[in-house]
Amino acid sequence: VSFMVCSSRVNRNFLVRSSFGFYLPGLAPVSFCEKEDYSCSLQYKLYYICMHFYARTDLRGNTFCFRFDFCKDTDERRPSENLGQVLFGERIETSPYKFSFKADKACVKVCTKSYDAGSREDKLKLDFLKKGMELNYQHHWIVDNMPVTWCYIVEGNQKVCNPGFPIGCLVNQEGKPKDACVINADFNKKNTYYIFNHVDITIVYHSGDETNGMSPRLVAATLEPRSVKHSDEDSPSCEGTPMDIPAEFKSNLKVTYSYSVKFQVSTIWLKISKKALPSISPYLLMAQLHLIFFSIMNSLVIILFLSGMVAMIMLRTLHKDIARYNQMDQEESGWKQVHGDVFRPPRMGMLLSVFLGQGTQVFIMTFITLFLACLGFLSPANRGALMTCAVVLWVLLGTPAGYVSARLYKTFGGENWKTNVFLTAFLCPGIVFVDFFLMNLILWVEGSSAAVPFGTLVAILALWFGISVPLTFVGAYFGFKKPGIEPPVRTNQIPRQIPPQTFFTKLVPGIIMGGILPFGCIFIQLFFILNSIWSHQMYYMFGFLFLVFIILVITCSEATVLLCYFHLCAEDYHWWWRSFLTSGFTAVYLFVYAVHYFFSKLQIIGAASTILYFGYTLIMVLIFFIFTGTIGFFACFLFVNKIYSLLKVD
């Protein structure tokens, strides 16, 4: 199943091919042949793909993506995108680059773009193109739904492959080549732009196995960009001096785009390495895997340490404390002394119950999404599937959110059930939607094609109000019908006075310490996730991510339980909000890391791009805050209920 998992897209002959094996939904491979029939395809179609992080310097990249004066395909319509692609700002356009299977071609003209020095419109187009080369904007092409990669040699003689290639480069006024201009010594004119108007494309395919009825399939696609000044645009030779564009536009200019394509047969199914991991070299892959294994081993050491601490508390300290207390010959002290106040309802119990309801919804959604991704159902080859799955699951999980929120609110003794249900259905989703709408409004104003269309926003609102909200009301109805959770000990009428606390048992220091260990378990995976979001690198390590997810849940639970026990021993019984905020503070570290990533890894220009980055980051931080806070709360809730249920209290 392995190569099927990493294959391209749904084949139109899925039912015909299904007898040869099991394909995960949406990932059946496409077969090619020299003569097209019902079971295979003859044509390779190359598509332009644009995303809102098109350039690392400008997060409004789609503002410019389709405004560049490149060769356009006017004969075909854009392929439809799913909800996940639209929300991520991914747009796909057809291109005039089309190839027939096993038909090698050399120096084929695609189109010619002419620029008249006396035309203001042509001057703007050329200035726009030069600005893109100066900012190192890149093409992103796909064929058979697989990135066309550009491989080059870096320091240390290591080969690195990227899923995009630059549209051109610049040699500045000092004669220093910038970005991709360093790869060619012929790029030596000062204050000159060099456009990559020619590409040598190599398509690697597997010949198939006729005995098993398996037709040839694409396993890799690479290219090498070149800058060529074509002397004869009608009969290009693709040899000669580079296509230079002077910084000052004084004379007419023509740029001819061309390509060459060749097919190579492979006897090995390379689709796993070339399709799922198109943007890294084997050396870099090994370095990343070593880093990930180190991170996981570090996380496991943290878990063992915390587990040992929890086991020592549960099996030694608590066991002895409970035994002495139940003998009735020992005075109350520490956590036993606050048994009459530990289940006193918290302040702002409604808000806490709303956060916990939403956190339960996010937790279940995240678990199911990562589990499906780990199995391969949400492969990166199936574009937008991860986001689509997450949104659909969130919509369908309104019932658990309403039930948990209502049940806990009733446990806290709340009576304003209408307000509770309303806030559960609208508070957190409303904050996320308003933030997302404001970011989308900026993209609309900037004219970016990454902006979510108005119709899609209406569809999202319809899913929210039409499905999620009613399901939340249904869950709240069943939650309020049940009695509140009965505490194991009675609560005193008069609150007990809390003694003076040391520095480490105060609220703020305890919360700050509580988020360090969970964040230490995830920060390396967080680096890869941020790279996949903002630096156009494909994320493929869902197995590791699911393992880190489990580690995060365990670490948040154990760290919160430990701090909760220490605070109860200090006779501070305000544990409800403290348990939520202790693990939830991990989100603050996530935000700090995102700020560090912004200044160290991205070279963002412009106020709009900065606002977009931090606007979307705040959405992630809020969701992560609710998610981790819910984990810590329920772990602490179970712990407190368990230890006080063992006490014999009159």
Residue 423: the pLDDT is 95
Residue 13: the pLDDT is 38
User: 91 versus 429: which is more confidently predicted?
Assistant: 429
- The torsion region of residue 344 among left (phi > 0), alpha (psi -120 to 50) and beta comes to beta
Rounded to an integer, what distance in angstroms lies between the CA atom of residue 144 and that of residue 495?
68
Same domain, 13 and 126: yes
Rounded to an integer, what distance in angstroms lies between the CA atom of residue 191 and that of residue 315?
74
Cβ distance 98 to 83 under 8 Å? no
pLDDT band at 138 (very low <50, low <70, confident <90, very high): confident
Residue 263 lies in a domain: yes
- Provide the residue range defining the domain that includes 423: 347-486
Same domain, 550 and 453: no
Q: Which residues pair with 151 in a beta bridge?
A: 161
Least confident range from 333-337, 364-368, 628-632: namely: 333-337
Same domain, 446 and 525: no
Residue 47 lies in a domain: yes
Average pLDDT, the chain: 79
Residue 267: the pLDDT is 64
Last residue of a domain, one of 466, 486, 506: 486
* 494: pLDDT strictly greater than 90: no
pLDDT band at 6 (very low <50, low <70, confident <90, very high): very low
Last residue of a domain, one of 279, 304, 323: 279
Residue 2: the pLDDT is 28
* 446: pLDDT strictly greater than 80: no
Residue 12 lies in a domain: yes
Q: Which residues contact 451 (CB under 8 A, 6 or more apart)?
A: 62, 89, 440, 443, 444
The closest alpha carbon to 84, from 390, 374, 467, 448, belongs to 390
Helical axes 542-569 vs 607-645, angle rounded to 10°: 50
Same domain, 527 and 477: no
* 1: pLDDT strictly greater than 50: no
Residue 322 lies in a domain: no
Q: How many CB atoms lie within 10 A of CB 123?
A: 14
Same domain, 375 and 275: no
Same domain, 474 and 535: no
The closest alpha carbon to 127, from 196, 53, 57, 193, belongs to 193
Q: Which residues pair with 112 in a beta bridge?
A: 256
Last residue of a domain, one of 234, 259, 279: 279
Rounded to an integer, what distance in angstroms lies between the CA atom of residue 484 and that of residue 410?
5
**Phi, psi dihedral angles at 398 (to 5 degrees):** -70, -30
Least confident range from 112-116, 325-329, 614-618: namely: 325-329
Same domain, 462 and 529: no
Top mean pLDDT of 3-17, 267-281, 342-356 is at 342-356
pLDDT band at 292 (very low <50, low <70, confident <90, very high): low
User: Quick check: helix, strand or coil at residue 48?
Assistant: strand
* 348: pLDDT strictly greater than 80: yes
Same domain, 422 and 537: no
Q: Which residues contact 263 (CB under 8 A, 6 or more apart)?
A: 101, 102, 103, 104, 202, 203, 204, 205
| DSSP strand pairing (217-226 vs 198-206) | antiparallel
* 60: pLDDT strictly greater than 70: no
Same domain, 520 and 471: no
Same domain, 94 and 230: yes
Same domain, 537 and 464: no
pLDDT band at 19 (very low <50, low <70, confident <90, very high): very low
Lookup result for tokens 């081993």: 297
Residue 7: the pLDDT is 33
* pLDDT (mean) for 1-15: 32
Task: State the DSSP code for 338.
Answer: G
| DSSP strand pairing (217-226 vs 149-154) | parallel
What percentage of the chain exceeds 90 in pLDDT? 24
* pLDDT (mean) for 33-61: 60
Residue 614 lies in a domain: yes
Q: In what order do the strands lie in the sheet with 158-162?
A: 105-115, 253-266, 198-206, 217-226, 149-154, 158-162
Residue 306 lies in a domain: no
Same domain, 370 and 446: yes
The closest alpha carbon to 45, from 277, 261, 224, belongs to 261
The total number of structural domains that make up the chain: 3
Top mean pLDDT of 27-31, 214-218, 253-257, 530-534 is at 253-257
pLDDT tens across 234-274, in order? 778 888 888 888 888 888 888 999 999 998 887 655 443 33
Residue type, 616: Y
Residue 316 lies in a domain: no
Identify the burial level of 19 via C-beta atoms within 10 angstroms of its C-beta, where 0-12 means exposed, 13-18 middle and 19 or more buried. exposed
| DSSP strand pairing (165-166 vs 158-162) | unpaired
Residue 28 lies in a domain: yes
> To 5 degrees, how large is the angle CA 485–CA 490–CA 491?
95
User: 474 versus 208: which is more confidently predicted?
Assistant: 474
pLDDT band at 462 (very low <50, low <70, confident <90, very high): very high
